[in-house]
Amino acid sequence: MSLRQTMGELTNRDRVWPFLVPDQGPRVDVSKQVILYIEGLSVSFDGFRAINNLNLYINDGELRCLIGANGAGKTTLMDIITGKTRPDTGQVYFGRNLNLLGRSEAEIAELGIGRKFQKPTVFEAQTVYANLELALRADKGILPSLTSRLTSEKRDRIDEVLRTIGLSDERAKLAGALSHGQKQWLEIGMLLIADPRLLLVDEPVAGMTAQETERTAELLTSLAGERTVVVVEHDMEFVRSIARTVTVLDQGTVLAEGTMDQIQSDPRVIEVYLGESH
């Protein structure tokens, strides 16, 4: 039985839950259905505080954008959520009562947190379809060979993901022959195969054409609601096109949070991040 099955409550159908921290009672508004709860988080590297007493609460189904200057701590925060980096202090809870700290990266992925890194890492010598098939087999713990046939249920799942990422017509194409944007969508598709509840996406539109950027905005917007999507992005126009709530990080902590209009008119944000050039 997989860890996710063991934690039976973590399915996309189970959407209403109070958020409780064991032994401490509710710490946030329980009506908000928080899926990611981060409080008092700090981590230092060689005495430098990359994350500094950071609090962040993300609701189930949200599409949240994280922005911040280089070195603000965005990557480090993603690393902590996904189990790559251990914080010195703080709490990170996923869903009801699942403490993410102390879990391995593999366990956290299995609990339903998918991470998309900036650079696409698809199998270029395989077709689009085969890439999704490999992702499906990897998710099910089946050896990643293509020799055995997929059940119709699994083929349906791949077809559904192909439609979601807009690559149905490219299914037989080698991944290496795709455009940069299409590779990024394929990699998002490979994550979707595992049906994550929370998707962390790092700079999805870097290097994309305007048209690809627009389609990526549509894709990420369509994924939110059903799942929770957190996007780290520097492209402010893109952030404006997708974000309901934007969180600004500065020096490892949350400087401001709100709609894009609120953020862009916040004097602190203008001073440290947006400046004249944005």
Binding site for ligand ATP (CB under 6 A): 45-46, 50, 68, 70-76
Q: Please name the amino acid found at residue 118.
A: Q
Smaller CB separation from ligand ATP, 72 or 134: 72
Residue 232 beta carbon to ligand ATP: minimum distance, rounded to whole angstroms: 7
The C-alpha angle 235, 43, 77, rounded to 5 degrees, equals 30
Contact by Cβ (8 Å): 81, 100: yes
Residue 56 beta carbon to ligand ATP: minimum distance, rounded to whole angstroms: 14
Smaller CB separation from ligand ATP, 48 or 218: 48
Smaller CB separation from ligand ATP, 72 or 165: 72
Residue with tokens 């032994």: 23
Q: Rounded CA gap, 53 and 259, in Å? A: 23
Smaller CB separation from ligand ATP, 46 or 153: 46
Residue 82 beta carbon to ligand ATP: minimum distance, rounded to whole angstroms: 13
Residue 96 beta carbon to ligand ATP: minimum distance, rounded to whole angstroms: 28
Smaller CB separation from ligand ATP, 19 or 273: 273
The pairing of strands 63-67 and 228-232 is parallel
Listed in order, strand segments (DSSP E) in the chain are: 34-45, 48-59, 63-67, 89-94, 98-99, 113-116, 198-202, 228-232, 245-250, 253-258
Smaller CB separation from ligand ATP, 68 or 83: 68
H helix intervals, 111-230: 128-139, 152-164, 180-192, 210-223
Q: Rounded CA gap, 41 and 78, in Å? A: 12
Residue with tokens 């010195």: 88
Residue 249 beta carbon to ligand ATP: minimum distance, rounded to whole angstroms: 6
Residue 13 beta carbon to ligand ATP: minimum distance, rounded to whole angstroms: 34
Residue 187 beta carbon to ligand ATP: minimum distance, rounded to whole angstroms: 19
- The gap from C-alpha 221 to its chain's centroid, in whole angstroms, comes to 13
User: How far, in Å, are 72, 127, 138, 181, 213 from residue 207 at the CA level?
Assistant: 22, 22, 28, 8, 9
Smaller CB separation from ligand ATP, 110 or 233: 233
